[in-house]
Structure formats: C-alpha cells, structure tokens
Amino acid sequence: MDANGSEAEVDEAALERLRSLVGDCINKHLLRSAIFFADKLVSLSDGAAEDVFLLAQAYVYNGEEARALALLRAESLTVASPRFAHLTAVCLVAASAWDDALALLGEEPEALLQGEAATNDAVSTAAACCLLRGRVYAALENRPSAARCFKARPPATAACPARLTLACVGRAVARPSLLRGV
C-alpha cells in the first residue's frame, strides 16, 4: 500500500464491481453465477454483513433456503436488521418451521409497523414481514390472525398486489361463507 492508501481504494472498487456483478447476475436469473461470485465477495470482504445478505439472497432465489438459513445462522445475522430477519423468516417458512418463523416475526402485525422509517422502497420490509406472518398464520390454520395480518396496512399504501389479494382472501378465510360458490 502506498502513502495515499490506493491499494485500499482499489480493493473497495473491486468489491463494488463484484457486488454489481452479483446484482446483475441475480437480475438476469444467472443464479448459480450469482452464488459463485457472491461467495467470492463474502470471502474477499471478510464476511461483511451486506455481502453475506447478498449471498443468502442468491441462495433463496435459487431455492436453497436451507443453505441460506445455515449461512445466516453461522454468521449470527438472523436478526441483525429487519431485512435479515425477513430473509431468515422466508427461509424458515420454506422449511415449514412455522413456530420459529412466527417467533422471529413476532405475533402482532402492528408491532412491526410502528415507528417504521420512511424509505423509497415500494414495499416496506415491515409490510413484507406482516404479509409473511399472515402466510404463517394461514399455514397454521389460524384464520382470524391471518386475516388480521393481511389487513394490517391498507393495500394501496403498501403498494403490494399480493397484500391486496391476500387481504381479500383473508376476508374470505375469516368468513368461510364467502368462499361458497367459488
């Protein structure tokens, strides 16, 4: 490294190019390549949390939720932030670990929605967690709780078509008479 620290800058620039490459592979559904490059990225960045998240996300997109969960647990990142908690819960739901997913997400939909910081995301992490919690309750056949989660935030403000659909289904689930004749 020289006196100006150019080696560190080159390394960070290389990591940014690698992150961009991983994102590009994911966007183009080149998931095995995304996993390969994300794994290299995690190694080169000494396990930076955001890089571990990127690798776990690539695993999930490739249908390797158990592998993603093992990675998140090994790096002790399952609850590092709401994004990590949501990704961990997605992995638990894929493994049908309903109780563990519910414990991670919490039981009250409003709890995640309180104090949520405004973001530029079309769908907030809290809204996605609320939707996932509703799916867990539906899988556990707890219809009233599932319906409450699906309706926790008005669908129009969440900008989430899945929420609107599940809110309507949740209404029908809460009142089975609405499903007759369908």
pLDDT given at position 128: 86
pLDDT given at position 111: 56
What is the DSSP track for 58-95? HHHHTT-HHHHHHHHHHTT-TTSSHHHHHHHHHHHHHT
Angle between helical axes of 82-94 and 125-139 (0-180°, round to 10): 20
| Domain closes at, from 77, 106, 122 | 77
pLDDT given at position 158: 44
Residues 20 and 51 in one domain: yes
Residues 107 and 157 in one domain: yes
Measured distance CA(158)–CA(122) in Å, rounded: 7
Residue 97 included in any domain: yes
Residue 21 included in any domain: yes
Residues 58 and 114 in one domain: no
| Domain closes at, from 37, 58, 77 | 77
Residues 180 and 120 in one domain: yes
Residues 93 and 172 in one domain: yes
Domain holding 20, by residue range, is: 7-77
pLDDT in tens, the chain (182 residues): 455 544 454 488 899 999 999 999 999 999 999 999 999 999 999 999 999 999 999 999 999 999 999 999 999 999 888 899 999 999 999 999 999 999 998 876 555 555 555 555 667 788 888 889 999 999 999 999 888 888 876 444 445 556 556 656 555 555 554 444 43
Residues 34 and 124 in one domain: no
Residues 102 and 173 in one domain: yes
Residue 2 included in any domain: no
Question: Domain total for the chain?
Answer: 2
Residues 69 and 82 in one domain: no
pLDDT given at position 1: 46
Residue 55 included in any domain: yes
Residues 52 and 122 in one domain: no
pLDDT given at position 182: 35
Residue 1 included in any domain: no
48: CATH? 1.25.40.10
Residues 31 and 94 in one domain: no
Residues 70 and 113 in one domain: no
Q: Is 76 left (phi over 0), alpha (psi -120 to 50) or beta?
A: left
Asked if 163 and 131 touch (Cβ cutoff 8 Å), the reply is: yes
Residues 121 and 65 in one domain: no
